[in-house]
Structure 1
Amino acid sequence: MAIFLILVLGLISIITSLLMVLFSGKMIPYTDANGQALPGSLSEKSWVTINGVEMGMIIKSRDQTRPVLLFVHGGPGMPEYWLNASYPSHLDELFTVVWWDQRGAGLSYSPGIPPETMTTSQLVADTIAVTQYLRQRFRQDRIYLMAHSFGTYLGIQAAAQAPELYHAYIGVAQSVNLALSEELAYEFMLSYYADDKKNLAQLKKAPYGTAGYERIRDRVMHEAGIGTTHTMYSVFTGIFLAVMKHREYMLKEKLQIWQGKAFSKNSKLNEEFRQANLSDLITRVNIPLIFFSGAYDYTVNHHLSEIYLEEIQAPAKHFYLFEDSAHSPIFEEPQTALKILSDLLH
């Protein structure tokens, strides 16, 4: 009996320690070889009132004098700081990186947010307001604006409205026409799964535009290597478990990610995004534009992104195709991205 009790207590101790690690939510600081915090570094989770709503952001900087980069995440409603743990972007080697959670998403989720405020115009205004906050806090006249996937729908509009606030705009998997992109992805998968009777039958039974397709979409795209990353074949292990085991989120904050995703998906914002065609909305941006696309990306079709960049007017334009990436080239081929961004800074 004594041995049994010792084993039980030991098991409880191990589980408790594991839960403390998984759910502590403490930010991991930058340290030197002796374990001391790097002078001038910053590893912070904070909340700021933006346009009447308390919004959360994670700020990571090895040196706070470095240029500030505001990252506008995808979704709608899906923060991406957690992805940086599985696929380190190393953006903090060049920038003070601000992983801002948009209105209604992740750290910025609250059941008290009025659903009628979840609109494109409001989130673009929020992006600009966050930019103003960062300029004042870090005493930099201009910052760099990087957006990913759905975030590019907001980011390029913010850049067009307030170019004086930004050095440059970096669109990662730049969205243009979501409806057309999704249709092209469906056609690709019919070809890709031509010899897979089970998946092909499911796709034909639930064609693009149906509720049935929405239920299988993420799975079949990831299994085909055209989802979040080219090598992330499971949404469950690659996204859900990655979020839930992240050390710098408290359990409440992890649950907020899923609450915010559902809230944003069911908002007017999502409907506006699905119906938009940026080729008609934004035809000129008065700062340099850099587009990063993955060759295997069918979540946002890279051909549409490249055509859009050719059409849009800007003082400088550069398109980069990452040959080993799907939807997230800054996470999949970080060193290639860093080389391009380093050249941009110099």
Structure 2
Amino acid sequence: MTNILKSRYTLVQWDQRDAGKTLKLNPSPTQPSVGQMEQETYQVIQFLRNELKQEKIYLPGSSRGNVLGFDIVKLHPELLHAYFTSNPVASQLESEKELLKTLKTHFKDDAVASRELDSISFPFSGDESMFYLRKWLFYKDGKELPLKRKKPNR
């Protein structure tokens, strides 16, 4: 199937900032924001339209990239012939629950991680649950935590 597509279309794979091959080859010096990734998605599409001299493109999206793809569909449908999805994030809550299971297994021998991960409840009852889930996801991925928690002024 891929060979048929390659013979008829120019295929371009772009991994969003800090994901896929981009993470290994060119990690972001700062923690990317959703707004930044949305802007970069739009910029890549504009680059391809100009470079390939095409008024519209076909856009596929996979996994978390579907969030960015749906954003383009909503805000800039005039740029696309069509949008195709694969492995979309169908339920953020179920994804978060699976992530928690994975992190608990990964950090089962770390007392601090286990205590913090065990304190997480769904739906998130407060910022602490989300903070701990993201904190240990970053550590699992070998990254520093992007946000340092500030002590409240008293």
Interval of TM-score (by shorter of Structure 1 and Structure 2): 0.5 to 0.7
1:138 aligned residue (38, 45, 52): 52
**Aligned CA distance change for structure 1 residues 97 and 182 (closer, same or farther; 3 Å):** same
Task: Give the number of the structure whose residues are more often strand, by fraction.
Answer: 1
Letter in 2 for 1:212: K
**Aligned CA distance change for structure 1 residues 112 and 176 (closer, same or farther; 3 Å):** closer
2:38 aligned residue (102, 124, 145): 124
CA contact under 8 A between 1:153 and 1:176: conserved in structure 2? Answer: no
Q: Please name the residue that 1:78 is paired with.
A: none
Deviations 1:153-201 (A, max 9, x none): 2211122121111111101111132322464xx6xxxxxxxxxxxxxxx
Q: Which has the higher contact order (CA 8 A, sep 6+)?
A: 1
Secondary structure of residue in 1 paired with 2:12? strand
Matched, 1:152 2:44: no
Q: Please name the residue that 1:176 is paired with.
A: 90
Q: Percent identity?
A: 29
Secondary structure of residue in 2 paired with 1:160? helix
Matched, 1:114 2:6: no
Q: Please name the residue that 2:114 is paired with.
A: none
For structure 1, the residue ranges without an aligned partner over 5 or more in a row are: 1-87, 187-206, 217-260, 269-346
Cα drift, residue 112 of structure 1: 6.0
**Aligned CA distance change for structure 1 residues 265 and 98 (closer, same or farther; 3 Å):** farther
Secondary structure of residue in 2 paired with 1:168? strand
**In structure 1, what is the Cα distance between the partners aligned to 2:105 and 2:93?**
14
Matched, 1:212 2:104: yes
CA contact under 8 A between 1:149 and 1:173: conserved in structure 2? Answer: yes
Cα drift, residue 208 of structure 1: 4.6
Cα drift, residue 102 of structure 1: 2.2
Task: Give the number of the structure whose residues are more often helix, by fraction.
Answer: 2
For structure 2, the residue ranges without an aligned partner over 5 or more in a row are: 109-139, 148-154
Matched, 1:161 2:75: yes
**In structure 2, what is the Cα distance between the partners aligned to 1:143 and 1:149?**
20
Q: How many residue pairs were aligned? A: 113
Letter in 2 for 1:136: N
CA contact under 8 A between 1:146 and 1:169: conserved in structure 2? Answer: yes
Cα drift, residue 209 of structure 1: 4.6
Secondary structure of residue in 2 paired with 1:145? strand
Letter in 2 for 1:124: E
**In structure 2, what is the Cα distance between the partners aligned to 1:144 and 1:112?**
27
**Aligned CA distance change for structure 1 residues 95 and 112 (closer, same or farther; 3 Å):** closer
Greater Rg by CA: 1
**In structure 2, what is the Cα distance between the partners aligned to 1:114 and 1:265?**
10
TM-score when normalising by structure 1: 0.28
Letter in 1 for 2:29: I
Alignment of 1:33-48 (within 5 A): none
CA contact under 8 A between 1:144 and 1:169: conserved in structure 2? Answer: yes
Runs of 4+ in 1 over 4 A off after TM superposition: 207-210, 263-268
**In structure 1, what is the Cα distance between the partners aligned to 2:15 and 2:73?**
18
CA contact under 8 A between 2:60 and 2:84: conserved in structure 1? Answer: yes
Secondary structure of residue in 1 paired with 2:13? strand
Deviations 1:67-103 (A, max 9, x none): xxxxxxxxxxxxxxxxxxxxx7433144210011322
CA contact under 8 A between 2:17 and 2:28: conserved in structure 1? Answer: no
